[in-house]
Amino acid sequence: MSLLRIRNLSVDFATAGGAFRAVDGVDITVDEGDVLAIVGESGSGKSVSMLAMMGLLPWTATITADEMSFDGRDLRDLTAKQRRKVIGRDMSMIFQEPMSSLNPCFTVGFQIKEALKQHLDLSKAQRHQRAIELLDLVGIPDPERRLNAFSFQLSGGMSQRVMIAMALACKPRLLIADEPTTALDVTIQAQILDLLTDLQKETGMGLILITHDMGVVAETAQRVQVQYAGQKVEEQPVQTLFTEPHHPYTTALLAALPERATTKRLPTIPGVVPGQFDRPAGCLFSPRCQYADDTCRGVKPPVQGPELGLARCHYPLGAPVKETAR
């Protein structure tokens, strides 16, 4: 049984201009020990789908799903109180901006111990000990002294380590890292990613890595799920995704990698992700797709089989028969 299984998750936001669908029929499956990367541009609904699962969206959001289960428990009909017993303990999350994700009014130690106090039955001394262990685990030197530090006394990398320590406090079975390295500089990015993958291997927890950086994906993930405008457009193991992408969007994303650029100017994907008022009738990527035809623009694309990376496309690349018929 999968650790996390989400089927047909949709999230709508009530806005002044009517409902806006941020996540549109997304499926996510994560097993124990799995590392799944979710990639896509800004506004592709990566974070929102995870926040929906954690129950951290504002009340303007309406969440619907055919299935949303974690470790066999249906997350859909948990009360807020029951959900608070799961999040932060079995399922935890780290965020994009480590510096602003820590409360400036409380010490690092207080914030870590608070998570322990909330979920585990430990004495004060045990909590203190465990907090030191955790800071040590995430590679913070002189952990006992650091417990008394405030977030504004730490660098970005250190803050993210603290966030990881806090997320790991109750030994979660699933860790969601929402662009954990975006706000950090490049050398620190590599350190944090190494730390995350090491910790994942040690603990055997599931890891969902949300990112828009294909380089990060290649280094860390086992499986990749590409999202575009709130939809999952492709899912593949990491090796084959890089060698044999099936969705034109994935191809375009990979072509935009600086390492792969063959021309003097870096290739880009023209246009932007459709917003609330300019969603196309057919394939959502059709306005930006170099292969799009009238079918793409008028008819919603089907989801292809696993051999074609579950690509949501009328004409997936690398399809043996139909490719020639075009």
Partner 1 sequence: MLRYLLSKLWTFVPTFIGVTIISFAFIRVLPGDPIIVMAGERGVTPERYQELMHQFGFDQPIHVQFWNYLTGVLQGDLGTSYVTKKPVWDEFFALFPATLELSICAIIIAIALGIPAGVIAAVNRGKFFDRALMSTALIGYSMPIFWWALLLIIVFSGNLGWTPVSGRISLMFFFDNVTGFMLIDSLLSGQKGAFASAVHHLVLPSIVLATIPLAVIARQTRSAMLEVLSEDYIRTARAKGLSPLRVNGLHALRNAMIPVITVIGLSVGTLLAGAILTETIFSWPGIGKWMVDSIFRRDYPVVQGGLLLVAVAVMLVNLVVDLLYGLINPKIRKR
Site of interaction with partner 1 (CB under 8 A): 54, 56, 83-89, 92-93, 95, 97, 100-107, 114-115, 118-119, 150-153, 163, 166
Say if residues 146 and 135 touch (Cβ distance below 8 Å): yes
Residue closer to partner 1 (CB basis): 54 or 188: 54
Q: Give one DSSP letter per residue of 79-104, joined into a string.
A: -HHHHHHHBTTTEEEE-S-HHHHS-T
Between 97 and 213, whose beta carbon lies closer to partner 1? 97
How far is the C-alpha of 194 from the C-alpha of 308, rounded, in Å? 31
Minimum distance between the CB of residue 66 and partner 1, rounded to whole angstroms?
25
Distance CA 258, CA 305 (A): 30
Nearer to partner 1, 105 or 325 (CB): 105
**Terminal Cα-to-Cα distance of the chain (whole angstroms):** 41
Sign of the Cα torsion 109, 135, 131, 205 reads positive
Shortest distance (Å) from residue 93 CB to partner 1: 5
CA nearest to 275, candidates 51, 59, 44: 44
Closer of 106 and 204 to partner 1 (Cβ) = 106
Q: Which is nearer to partner 1, 140 or 292 (CB)?
A: 140
How far apart CA 245 and CA 257 sit, in angstroms, is: 14
Q: Alpha helix locations (H) across the chain?
A: 46-54, 80-86, 98-101, 108-119, 124-137, 143-146, 156-168, 186-203, 214-220, 238-243, 248-255, 294-298, 322-325
CB of 309 to partner 1, least distance (A): 31
Q: Considering the complex, what minimum distance in angstroms separates the CB of residue 10 from partner 1?
A: 22
Q: How far is the CB of 54 from partner 1 (least distance, A)?
A: 6
Minimum distance between the CB of residue 60 and partner 1, rounded to whole angstroms?
10
Least Å from the CB of residue 226 to partner 1: 25
CB-wise, 97 or 219, nearer to partner 1? 97
Q: Residue 179 or residue 234: which is nearer to partner 1 going by CB?
A: 179
Q: Are 237 and 307 in contact (CB under 8 A)?
A: no
Both tokens of residue 124?
A: 């004060």
Query: Assign residue 273 a region: left if phi > 0, alpha if psi is -120 to 50, beta otherwise?
Result: beta
CB of 86 to partner 1, least distance (A): 7
Going by their DSSP bridges, the two strands 174-178 and 206-211 should be labelled as parallel
Kindly tell me which of 102 and 269 has the beta carbon lying closer to partner 1. 102
Cβ 22 to partner 1 shortest distance, Å: 16
Are the beta carbons of 196 and 167 closer than 8 angstroms? no
Instruction: Choose between 83 and 232: whose C-beta lies nearer to partner 1.
Output: 83
Quote the CA–CA distance of 212 and 215 in Å, as a whole number: 9
